[in-house]
Each structure stands twice: as C-alpha cells, then as structure tokens.
Structure 1
Amino acid sequence: MPSIDHGAAGPGQDTLAQDFVAFAVASGVLRFGEFRTKAGRLSPYFFNAGLFDDGAKLGRLAEFYARRLLASGLGIDMLFGPAYKGIPLAAAVAVELARQGRNLPFAYNRKEAKDHGEGGTLVGAPLRGRVLILDDVISAGTSVRESIALIRAAGATPCGVGIALDRQEKATDASGAEQAWSATQFVQRELGLPVVPVATLADLLGYLDRQADPGLAGHAPAVHAYRARYGV
C-alpha cells in the first residue's frame, strides 16, 4: 500500500513540509551534528519530538499534523495515541482538528493495566470505526503493531498512521541485520496501513539544499551521504 502523497509538489518542495522542517530546526527539535541511532549508525541529524515541550510548540506541532491529515483524504473516525509519546499528540491533534472544524474523539493506552476505578489499559473514547494511530516517528513498527492489536481487539479498524518525520532509511531486524525496506515501508506493506508523514528525509534535504545560511547549508553533504548509504 503506498504512502499518502504530500501533494503535487515533488520531494523537498512541499510547502507544509518545508515549514515544518524550519519550525523543527528553530525549536531545537531537529539538530545537526553526530548522533548514534538505536541501530548503531552515526547519523548527521537527530529529531527529538520530546522537545516540543511547551504549549506554543505543541500547539504548532498539532497544527502541522492536522493540516496534513485533513489534506490526506483518509477517512478517520477517531484518533489513538500509543503510550507514551502518542498520548499528548492525540490530545493536541484532536484539539486542533476541532478548531479546524473536524471534531474527533480520541483514546490512548496505559503501559500497565489499572486494577481500580474504571480499570483496563485504554483511556478516553471507546475505540470505534476507523482509527488513526498517531506517533512521532516509526522506528521498528513495534508500537504500531501493539496499537493495531488493541484497536482490533476492541472491534475497531486501524486506518493509518500519522507521524511527524519519515527518516526514509533501512530498518534493522532483532539481530541488527540491515533490511531492504524502511520501518515505514514495513507498516505500509506488511501491516497494510498507509502512513501519513508531515515531512520526510527528502523534505529535510530540500530544506538544507535551499539554505542561504551557510551554517545550515553546510550540513547538507553529510545528510546526503547518510541517505546514500542508508536510505530507501
């Protein structure tokens, strides 16, 4: 199943994605340098969505998600945020969608079942209809698989995954062996869900390639080299 097209613009030319990359850089969420990834790779950039850590930044992030989701054409009945990073995302995006005229219920899960009060692992609206999973990135697809199981167990239908950034790089298996596909492609092809990213690595490269600021433009060669080595 293909990913959702960003629109008529080619890679790195999507206005919404370019605005998002600029926002992430200005917020210190997207940084450049040398960073060790979970796969053991030395990456020339690092995206930490946990640094959208105040009301203004979270609200702006939600606006980007909402605009992308509304433009995607996906039929969505409600939002689901997997613990932990997906919880504030689901709440914030639900608020922003309502502000833009699309009021959707949302739910999230706990890591551990609650044995008092209402009990269980799910919090929020009952899981019904077509449910969109919200997360920051897809690293190994584990969170998505767990979310799919929870949604289906409740009798609802997972309809897609919304993320902030698609790194567009080769995944690794449990042994660390490099795969020919990315984690996003795994979700699309093996789990059968479309993935809606606000921006991709191609968009990040487009942003760097057009920079007049030599400090930012200087990172472009390293990011291009990283994509040539690990990209899909």
Structure 2
Amino acid sequence: MYQENFIKFALKRQALQFGNFYLKSGRYSPYFFNSNCFYNGSDILKIGEMYSDIIQKTQINFDVIFGLAYKGIPIATAIAIALKKKYNLKIPYFFNRKERKTYSDSGTIIGTQYTKKNIIIIDDVITSGMTIQQSSTILNFKENNNNIAGIFVLFDRQELCLSHLQTAENELIKQYDCPIFSIINIIDIIKYLKKKNIHQDYLKIIIKYYQKYGSLNVNNI
C-alpha cells in the first residue's frame, strides 16, 4: 500500500521523528512529522507526484493550487510540476508571505490571480487546523468569490481541535464545506509500527498521547 511505502520513506528521511516536541497547538507530542527533511530534488518530486496522484484520484474540480506559507510552498510547486509531467495538466499556483512586502511586488500573495476560482489548499500537516484556518484571512474567500474545492496534506494527526468538541478535520470540513485528504495519518503510523515491531517504546507513548488528544479508539488496532 502507498501508505506503508510513504511511512518507510518518511522514516528513512527522518521526517517522522520521535522524542518530545512542543507543537503550535500548545501540546507536547511524542512524535513529530517534519516535512523540512524532504529537501532535495528527488524527494520533493516524489512528494509532488504522490499529491498529484491523490488529487487526480479524487476527481475534484479545481482551477488553482494554493500553498500555505511556508511548508506548503515547495509542495504546491512540486504538485504543479507533477500534474504537468504525469497528467499533462497546466495548473497555476500561488502562495502567501507571512510578512507583507512594501516595495516592488508588494503584498502578501505571490503567483497567479485567484479570484473567482476553485482552489485546493496545500499544507504538510493537520494538527489543530489553525494554520489552514488562517487562510480565510489571507485570501478573503467571500470577498473574492473563491470556492475551496479541497484540502490536501501529507499527514493528518487526527487530533481533536483545541476546544476538544470535535476533530480538527471535522472543524475544517464544517468551516469550508469541502473534503480533506491526507497521504497518511497517525493510525497508519501506529499500524505500521505494530506490524514491523519497531520503535515499540515510543509506540506505547504515542498511543497514550492519542488516547488523550485523538479522535478514534486505538485499543483494537
């Protein structure tokens, strides 16, 4: 399965890390998914092709790709290249700056025009959903008559949002009225570590963490 292949790839590149990590959500996690570890041409091309395959499989109607700063930017670029290379689709993309530029090409948005478009949002990880929610302010969806066709990420941590009332994924689906797709999620990783009988000490801690912040029952996995 492609999930197992990707987890193996992530472990080899040390993108999937174990330890004690402070997250943007304010939680301390026993694992961390660091897409910065996919930093050479071969790796980012592979990532772009995986995204492009899933995007094509969903048959979503979209016009443009939006990469969230900063980690979504190289991924969005790689996706645009992969869609052209594998599927002969010439899809424009754009991304945001986190700091507004006041000279030359001023503003926070770089790339194609995005008004009145069906947009797919690209990021690397969903934890609490805060980063993706910030895109509402960045893009002014209603004012620009945009439609969010879908959200695509490398990894879904499948955690509850900060209110603990629902999952971050469900909160985003409700907010944007669009589907969310991930290449892998934490349940895929738990199953893989169990199947391969590796990192068992961390696996126990991950399961305990997930029982506190996760959205599914992992006892029978």
Shift of 1:92: 1.1
CA 1:210/1:99 → structure 2, altered by over 3 Å: closer, same or farther?
same
Counterpart CA distance in 2 for 1:193 and 1:148 is 14
CA 1:42/1:122 → structure 2, altered by over 3 Å: closer, same or farther?
closer
2:150 alignment partner AA:
G
CA 1:218/1:72 → structure 2, altered by over 3 Å: closer, same or farther?
farther
> Size of the alignment, in residue pairs?
211
Q: What's 2:209 paired with?
A: 226
Contact 2:126 2:158 in 1 (8 A): no
State the Cα RMSD in Å.
Answer: 2.1
Q: 1:198 aligns with which of 176, 183, 192?
A: 183
Shift of 1:38: 3.7
CA 1:151/1:70 → structure 2, altered by over 3 Å: closer, same or farther?
farther
TM-score by length of 2: 0.85
Shift of 1:217: 4.5
Counterpart CA distance in 2 for 1:231 and 1:62 is 28
Q: 1:162 aligns with which of 139, 152, 171?
A: 152
1:46 alignment partner AA:
F
Counterpart CA distance in 1 for 2:26 and 2:140 is 32
Counterpart CA distance in 1 for 2:209 and 2:108 is 39
| Other structure's SS at 1:181 match | coil
Shift of 1:28: 0.2
Counterpart CA distance in 2 for 1:129 and 1:39 is 30
Shift of 1:111: 2.2
TM-score by length of 1: 0.81
1:99 alignment partner AA:
K
Q: Does 1:188 align with 2:173?
A: yes
| Other structure's SS at 1:171 match | coil
Q: Does 1:112 align with 2:99?
A: yes
| Other structure's SS at 1:155 match | coil
Shift of 1:155: 3.2
Shift of 1:218: 4.8
Shift of 1:132: 0.4
| Other structure's SS at 1:154 match | coil
Point out which structure has higher relative CO (alpha carbons under 8 A, 6+ apart). 1
Deviation digits for residues 135-155 of structure 1 (CA, Å, limit 9, x no counterpart): 111233333233234162433
Contact 2:127 2:156 in 1 (8 A): no
CA 1:36/1:114 → structure 2, altered by over 3 Å: closer, same or farther?
closer
Q: How does 1:43-122 map to 2 (within 5 A)?
A: 43-101=29-87, 102-122=89-109
Q: What's 2:126 paired with?
A: 138
Counterpart CA distance in 2 for 1:96 and 1:215 is 33
Deviation digits for residues 191-213 of structure 1 (CA, Å, limit 9, x no counterpart): 323211111111111211210xx
Counterpart CA distance in 1 for 2:130 and 2:191 is 30
Q: What's 1:27 paired with?
A: 13
User: 5+ residue gaps in structure 2?
Assistant: 216-221
CA 1:125/1:39 → structure 2, altered by over 3 Å: closer, same or farther?
closer
Deviation digits for residues 153-194 of structure 1 (CA, Å, limit 9, x no counterpart): 433322121111000112225xxxxx1322222101233232
